[in-house]
Amino acid sequence: MASARDLQRYKELLLEKQRELSFVQGEAAARVPAAGGLEGDLIDQANADAEAELQIRLHQTDRRLLRAIEEALGRIRQGTYGVCGVCNQPISKARLEAVPWTRRCRECKEGPAA
Ligand SMILES: [Zn+2]
């Protein structure tokens, strides 16, 4: 189990990434017109503007990551942080340092965004 000092460090890493992503989100929203509600339609359009599409994809990845970060912060509060959600083994420090929002150990590896 991670020590209180480790937890504090992971929490700081998570909050830092959260701030960074929130900033990027704001930037992307400002640059893509009508960002709310039209994402599905835009992606379906074969000739959608390539840059706008890329922005939206980044936007969605960031949203997933932001949610993963929020969940990780929740696990820190609940005292369940740093344990693999699949095999229940502790996740290595090196992995938590690199991907502090992860929910799985290296053996139970996961997709690119989580
Ligand atoms: Zn595992």
pLDDT tens sequence for the chain (114 residues): 678 999 999 999 999 999 998 887 677 677 766 545 555 565 555 556 777 777 777 788 888 999 999 999 999 999 999 999 999 999 999 999 999 999 999 999 855 444
* Residue pair 84/66 in contact by the 8 Å Cβ criterion: no
- 60 CA → ligand 1 middle, Å: 26
pLDDT of residue 113: 43
Q: How far apart are CA 26 and CA 9, in angstroms?
A: 26
pLDDT of residue 22: 85
pLDDT of residue 33: 61
- 82 CA → ligand 1 middle, Å: 10
* Residue pair 65/49 in contact by the 8 Å Cβ criterion: no
- 103 CA → ligand 1 middle, Å: 9
- 106 CA → ligand 1 middle, Å: 7
pLDDT of residue 53: 75
